[in-house]
Structure 1
Amino acid sequence: MDQYSESAMPFFFIINFLADEAEVFSEKELTNSGIEVDFPNYKTNKNPAESGIENIEWKAYPCTKEAYEKGFNMVQKHLRRGDSYLVNYTAKTLVETNLSLKNIFDKAEAKYKMLYPNKFVFFSPETFVEIKDNVISTCPMKGTIDADIPDAEQKLKNDTKEKAEHYTVVDLLRNDLSMVADEVRLKHFQRIDYLKTTNKNLYAMSSDIEGIIKPKYRKNIGSLLEKLLPAGSILGAPKPKTLEIILEAEDYERGYYTGICGYFDGKDLDTCVMIRFIENHDGKLYFKSGGGITHMSDLDSEYEEMKNKIYVPIY
């Protein structure tokens, strides 16, 4: 990635959650791979195919509350001991649908979409970092609420647990950006976005942070991303110990879920966090989802949030 960016060569990449596996593609290699990408400023397929499916079938089989509680209690134990302030705890859910991964990619509405044929698809609303004219910005998304609840936006902004979660991630990512940028500032705080889903509509809370890239990283995109990974919004704080907690509490491997992917056009960069993620494993589809846990979290609410995020944004 450093070599490509030093020579201003466009490329696309994916990096897994642990940042120990990556795939990097020139534009020609990406075309030959069969991978499809739909980003705000980069698309590989401008004419999505019709699915031919009028009545969408969608069934989810989340883990039991008792199974979820086992990992949740491990996380809470570490939070009470002060090992972490925020842990992003996730689970995988078997789903059954008459949609193929390709159908989902073509029809889902999201800011960022990617299809890796026969492996996974995601439809993410969350930017990781974006670079334009040597300005690097990030938009951590933390905190969700059912949009149908009366005064949902204000309740989300004022909820003690959600605020603590959001403040922690904003502070973490502001600190992360300061490793690769100067003049880091919080540009917009607690923006509320509306997300439509197949089950229920949600409000999500985001903030905008930006800075000026340090000269040593301006032509070294790989080195810059290496300093920032894993992504703080899907990990927690502090990073090293929180990663240990996640690996202890979760009973599956995330793989590319909650990793990042992005496109470098030869000058600027756009990347996203790979959430809202469906993976094909031995012919079965698994949806991976979760949320941030603090010492104020309660089991029932977090279990419901994990389930609420199991959806496809197709209308």
Structure 2
Amino acid sequence: MKSEHHPGFQRMDELSQEAVPFFFIVDFMMEKVELFTKEQLKDSGLLIDFKGFKNSDKVDFIDKTIELKSFPQSKEEYRTGFDIVQKNLRLGNSYLTNYTCKTEIETNFSLEEIFHFSKAKYKVLYKNEFVFFSPETFVEVADNEIFTHPMKGTIDAAKENAAEILKNDVKEKAEHYTVVDLLRNDLSMIADDVKVNEFQRIDFIRTKQKNLYAMSSEISGKLKPEFQGKIGSLMQTLLPAGSILGAPKPKTLEIILEAETYNRGFYTGVCGWFDGKNLDSCVMIRFIEKENDKLYFKSGGGITHLSKLADEYQEMKNKIYVPVF
């Protein structure tokens, strides 16, 4: 990756050591690192809605119901990339690969309306170029302790005993174990006393199209002295996020770049708010991008050697939703 010494990470270190609050955004390939102090956010065209930081006024009412049409690629088109991933899994080049697609959508909501009326833990509108409504925390830092909450494995909540099925599904479990293991290893590079605090928690995600259950865990550790107060160094070591890449990271990245037919850009990158002391950051998933006046929804899922084409194709389509009620 070209990110070895991106000046953006260095600047993040400087600002965090000076305890200056800032918002940052890093694309998937770590080639674009953008930083905004509170002052710079005012004219940035960025709207942010995080648990601990908002720079947008609440809009309560809209007099229309969201309509969303998607035009996914055919199963045969999907199969091309899926087969590349499976071939590499069989060869032992990867044991989990996150394979994603770009789907054209049509909706009667603007990107700004989607930002204001979607419900999610993390929401960002980037200059009328893209919007996302992500449920997934990347890392949180509080009092030199670091936390991550890998989210892997989803199921249609309408299925009978859905939560139990998800918890015991061999493929979903394998995927979840792999990501927990990967992130535990990642955290060990920057933290001591790394431990899994909570394993396979099931969360309910409500959407207009269909409700989902998602599986997540919590891992924590105490930041090593050389990473304390250095948000840039910490991010540069941890990125790209393991949950949306796979394992092992370097080889799996090569597989993704071969299998996927588009550039992810900021999708599956990371953004975060540093308040001068603590950090909250998220993985940029559930992502809609505007390109030449058309809208595209980017979605996908983790593929293991146990994955079935029909199920993975369906999961990629299931994730095309906007949580507006």
Matching residue of 1:40: 51
Q: Partners of 2:76 and 2:309 in 1: how far apart?
A: 10
Q: CA deviation at 1:280?
A: 0.4
1:16 aligns with 2:27: yes
Which secondary structure does the structure 1 equivalent of 2:226 belong to?
Answer: helix
Deviation at 1:49, TM superposition (A): 6.2
CA-based RMSD: 0.8
- Equivalence map 1:192-203=2 (5 Å): 192-203=202-213
1:111 is matched with which residue: 106, 115, 121?
121
Query: Structure 1: how far apart are the matches of 2:212 and 2:61?
Result: 27
Q: 1:28: which partner in 2? A: 39
User: 1:48: how far off?
Assistant: 2.4
1:123 to 133, 136, 142: 133
Counterpart in the other structure of 2:241: 231
Q: Distance in 1 between matches of 2:207 and 2:260?
A: 26
TM-score, normalised relative to structure 2: 0.95
Residue 6 of structure 2: aligned partner: none
Q: Aligned partners of 1:57, 1:153: CA distance in 2, in Å?
A: 28
TM-score by length of 1: 0.99
Question: Match of 2:199, SS?
Answer: strand
For residues 264 and 82 of structure 2, the distance between their equivalents in structure 1, rounded to whole angstroms, comes to 17
1:24-82 Cα distance to aligned partner (Å, 9 max, x none)? 00111111112100001111113226444x23221000111011000000000000000
**Is the counterpart of residue 284 in structure 1 residue 294 in structure 2?**
yes
For 2:45 and 2:263, the matched residues in 1 are separated by 25
The SS at the match of 1:267 is: coil
For 2:285, the equivalent position in structure 1 comes to 275
Could you tell me how far apart the structure 2 residues matched to 1:290 and 1:258 are?
Answer: 10
Q: Which amino acid aligns with 2:21?
A: P
Deviation beyond 4 Å, 4+ runs, structure 1:
none
For residue 188 of structure 1, report the CA deviation from its aligned partner.
Answer: 0.1
2:109 paired with 1:99: yes
Paired with 2:320 and 2:29, the residues of 1 have a C-alpha distance of 23
SS at match of 1:95: strand
Q: Contact 2:140–2:279 (CA<8 Å) still a contact in 1?
A: yes
d(CA) in 2 for partners of 1:91 and 1:78? Answer: 18
Residue 7 of structure 2 is matched in structure 1 by none
Q: Which residue of 1 aligns with 2:252?
A: 242
Aligned partner (choices 94, 110, 113) of residue 84 of structure 1: 94
Give a deviation string over 1:244-280, Cα, whole Å, max 9, x none: 0000000000000000000000000000000000000
Q: Secondary structure at the match of 1:275?
A: coil
What is the correspondence of 1:137-286 to structure 2 with a 5 Å cutoff?
Answer: 137-286=147-296
SS of alignment partner, residue 43 of structure 1: coil
Does structure 2 retain, via aligned residues, the 8 Å contact 1:280–1:286?
yes
Once the two structures are TM-superposed, the CA of residue 111 in structure 1 deviates from its matched residue by 0.3
How far is the alpha carbon of 1:22 from its aligned partner? Answer: 1.2
1:6 equivalenced with 2:10 (yes/no): no
Q: What is the aligned partner in structure 2 of residue 64 from structure 1? A: 74
User: Contact between 2:66 and 2:324, CA under 8 Å: does it hold in 1?
Assistant: no
Residues 72-128 of structure 1, C-alpha deviation per residue, up to 9 Å, x if partnerless?
000000000000000000001000011000000000000000001221000000000
In the alignment, structure 2 segments of 5+ residues that lack a partner are 1-11
Decide which moves more: 154-163 or 43-52.
43-52
What is the rounded CA distance, in whole Å, between the counterparts of 1:20 and 1:223 in structure 2? 15
Q: Which residue in the other structure is 1:55 paired with? A: 65
> What fraction of aligned residue pairs are identical, expressed as a percent?
63
Question: Are residue 73 (structure 1) and residue 69 (structure 2) matched?
Answer: no
The alpha carbon displacement at 1:130 in A equals: 0.2
Quick one: distance in 2 between partners of 1:118 and 1:185? 40
- Structure 2 residue matching 1:247: 3-state secondary structure: helix
SS at match of 1:183: strand
CA distance in structure 2 between the aligned counterparts of 1:57 and 1:162, rounded to whole angstroms:
31
Unmatched runs of 5 consecutive residues or more in structure 1: none
CA contact (8 A) 1:187 1:209 kept: yes
Aligned length: 314
